[in-house]
Amino acid sequence: MVVLGCTGYFPVTTVFKMTYKLQSYILLITLLVIVTLTLSADGEFRFLDHLKPQADDKTQTRAVTDLLQRLLGNRAREFKVIVNKTLANGSFDVCELRSAKNNRIFASGSTGVAVATGVYNYLKYFCNCHVSWSGNQLNIPRPLPSVTGVLRISTQHRFRYYQNVCTQSYSTVWWDWRRWEQEIDWMALNGINLPLAFNGQEALWQEVYLSLGLNQTDIDQFFTGPAFLAWNRMGNLFQWGGPLPQSWHTKQLYLQYKILERMRALGMMPVLPAFSGNVPQAITRLFPKANVTKLDPWSHFNCSYSCAYILDPRDPLFQRIGALFLSQLVKQFGTDHIYNTDTFNEMTPASPDPAYLSAVSRSVFNTMTSVDPRAIWLMQGWLFVHDVDFWKPAQIQALLHGVPIGRMIVLDLFAESTPAFSSTQSFYGQPFIWCMLHNFGGNSGLFGTVESINMGPFEALRYPNSSLVGLGMAPEGIEQNPVVYELMCELAWRKEPVNLRKWVSLYAARRYGSTSENLSTAWKLLFHSVYNCTVPHYKNHNKSPLVHRPSLHMSTDVWYNRGDLYEAWRLLYEAALPLMSVETFRYDLVDVTRQALQLLTAEFYREIRDSFQSQKLPELLTAGGVLVYDLLPELDRLLSSESHFLLGVWLEQAHSLALTEQEVQLYDLNARNQITLWGPVGNILDYASKEWGGLMEDYYLQRWSLFVNTLVECLDRGRPFRQEVFNQAVFQVEKGFVFNQRKYPIKPQGNTYDIATRIFMKYYPQALKRLN
């Protein structure tokens, strides 16, 4: 069969191919035209031009001066800083540093963040200093080293984003103002200008829902407890761990006011929440005609705590509720015109119809602009990589194009492992931020993808017609692996990838204030191995048997050469004695030793499993005895000797927010459950695992003891091991920890060096032996 063309005859298949290609060309040209029309002269999206610091130069200057005073004490007087927004290179931050009279350093920059970043760059590369979650090394030379000429620090990324919606639950949930102040200082020093600011929103939601006619019982049955609020906000959970006390709302509002004031004073643009459609069940009672859908269960929960009620964004009630909330939000907190909400986080939309998806995103955005005509929607792009079966090109494009080009910023959330920009033609023209997710659940454990994060941002910049507008970090949990975050922050101010071997050698020197060759070599080994995961699409959950409910079918695979880790351990230990007073070194010695014992736990587990399966009781007793009666107790003692690895600190932070004994018990349950069972019956068991002193002894050790004893009993009596029976028994152990109400130390116990020495002498030779 043929059809008549204008120049002759063509087979039908050829016509179809030509039509498809023509449509593709038209789409591409249309995208180029749209992007071109929305670009400003400097290549940035003109609809983003109003996203800029609100504080004046004087306010930002004072904020940076105060930051340096907190960080450096009297040495801060040796720095003269000034913010001058006219120094900006278009919309990009710049800082210039030069030597001044009396051995002082003068730093001027376009924003407070730019100045703070410039000063930290100077402290790192001229003074050999370091600031991190796990301590600071600030042995500043006297006098300050001079700068020859002008040192210019600039970025080619307009936005430097920070946090994940989950970070609010996994890490910052119990923070007071003092801890928030430290974090905001760290953000400024590392160039962050676009942080999430989600505290206090439940207080506003409560007012909105009460104004709609819900009662307090309705609201108490909706909000989760503090440690699970992230998933309540995303529509995954309700009620579990609740209800939220009224004192919680008061304290979080107070915190939010201070957080926003400080962020804005430093020149940051805080991202505030918006309405996604997740509503209390009581909405269906008060508004029976509203188009509300009850979703399927989320994760391993049933409908007792999940199966959220989602209000269709096209329903007039959606606009009403969303506008009520945003109006209240802007009234209470002010606005920097950028809002985050995620409509389908790990939830399948009601329909794959592109028209429906466009209508949904258009309605969500209209809710924002009805209150703030200059609103920009910041959306996580996680859904596109989480459910690839649903989110095909037509669906992705429909959702993104429901919002005018340039009025949405997409977070390419897991770009270091599974970038979405390259499979969506740069998000079909919508601006995006290349993000490193790095950590799921806030797990302990060394991990990094340093080659990927070193190259990825620059590849995104070079991508044809790239709509990249920034770099970001979106870890589910923080206060771990500080080296990865320092590298990622620094790349936003680099013009090209760094030499990783040279960079990490300098990192070791400034982190400890020592130029020891042992330390440099140790960190090069770590960067070559445990910090350079190259497994495609690898998600950093700590998969070690140590922190998972024991079974006979556990994975012991790792992505790196164990020998490199053991050699780095040896080099750190041998350099340890003169450095034990340096907080950052003490932390790393414990952390690397912990990683080595985590590897050895997997080795002993294999021996336990193999001995049981081959019915060798003596070997089972030997391997199980070493693990249960020596290795894990020693690890608990080591962790308990360092302030950053204490279960007691996490629990004490939770308790400190309580006003009554009832609140203490509620917060204690939240804090314990999240890091263990994650749900009433182990629904997301061990997802947020932590290797902390106290937790190791009373949780992980007890499980392994029960496992080994059960296997011994099975062999002794000639019975098979039944996992389901063991699970029922070990659940009682796990639940016992959650409810034991035991007090744990909030100060280190024991001498870290002595404990580390004892462990090294016993287990380093065994580690080497098992390599062969």
d(CA 241, CA 680): 9
The overall pTM is greater than 0.85: yes
Q: What is the DSSP letter of 583?
A: H
Q: What's the Cα-to-Cα distance from 236 to each of 223, 294, 297, 342, 364, rounded to whole Å?
A: 11, 11, 8, 11, 18
Alpha helices in 92-158 (DSSP H): 112-125
Find out whether 84 and 198 touch, Cβ atoms under 8 Å.
Answer: no
Confidence (pLDDT) at 177? 98
d(CA 691, CA 546): 9
DSSP bridge partners of 8:
5
Find out whether 180 and 200 touch, Cβ atoms under 8 Å.
Answer: no
Low-confidence ranges of the chain (pLDDT < 70): 1-44
The string of DSSP codes covering 409-448 is: EEEETTTTTS-SGGGTHHHHT--EEEEE---STT--S---
Confidence (pLDDT) at 119? 98
* 709 backbone dihedrals φ, ψ, rounded to 5°: -60, -35
Find out whether 350 and 330 touch, Cβ atoms under 8 Å.
Answer: no
| Neighbouring C-alpha atoms within 13 Å toward the C-beta of 102 | 5
Q: Is 299 left (phi over 0), alpha (psi -120 to 50) or beta?
A: left
d(CA 473, CA 411): 10
Can you give the three-state secondary structure of 338-377, one letter per residue?
A: EEECCCCCCCCCCCCCHHHHHHHHHHHHHHHHHHCCCCEE
| Neighbouring C-alpha atoms within 13 Å toward the C-beta of 18 | 7
Confidence (pLDDT) at 44? 60
Confidence (pLDDT) at 12? 33
Task: Find how far residue 437's CA is from the centre of its chain.
Answer: 6
d(CA 569, CA 571): 6
d(CA 590, CA 603): 20
d(CA 49, CA 512): 42
d(CA 18, CA 309): 45
Core vs surface per residue 360-375: b (16+ CB within 10 A) or e: bbbbbbbbbbebbeeb
**Nearest in space to 624 (alpha carbons), one of 599, 598, 606:** 606
Find out whether 427 and 393 touch, Cβ atoms under 8 Å.
Answer: no
DSSP, collapsed to helix, strand or coil, labels residue 89 as: strand
**Terminal-to-terminal C-alpha distance of the chain:** 69
DSSP, collapsed to helix, strand or coil, labels residue 721 as: coil
Confidence (pLDDT) at 375? 98
Confidence (pLDDT) at 602? 98
Whether the link from the prior residue into 243 is cis, omega within 30° of 0, is: yes
Confidence (pLDDT) at 343? 86
d(CA 438, CA 456): 13
Q: What is the DSSP letter of 54?
A: -
Find out whether 196 and 333 touch, Cβ atoms under 8 Å.
Answer: no
d(CA 219, CA 232): 12
CA pseudo-torsion sign 24, 26, 27, 28:
positive
**What own/partner pairs with CB < 8 Å and gap ≥ 24 does 386-394 have?**
386/346, 387/346, 387/348, 390/348, 390/349, 390/352, 392/352, 393/424, 394/354
Amino acid residing at 358: S
**Nearest in space to 339 (alpha carbons), one of 383, 382, 380, 376:** 376
DSSP bridge partners of 387:
none
Find out whether 165 and 198 touch, Cβ atoms under 8 Å.
Answer: yes
Confidence (pLDDT) at 344? 85
Confidence (pLDDT) at 38? 53
Confidence (pLDDT) at 89? 82
CA pseudo-torsion sign 510, 511, 513, 518:
negative
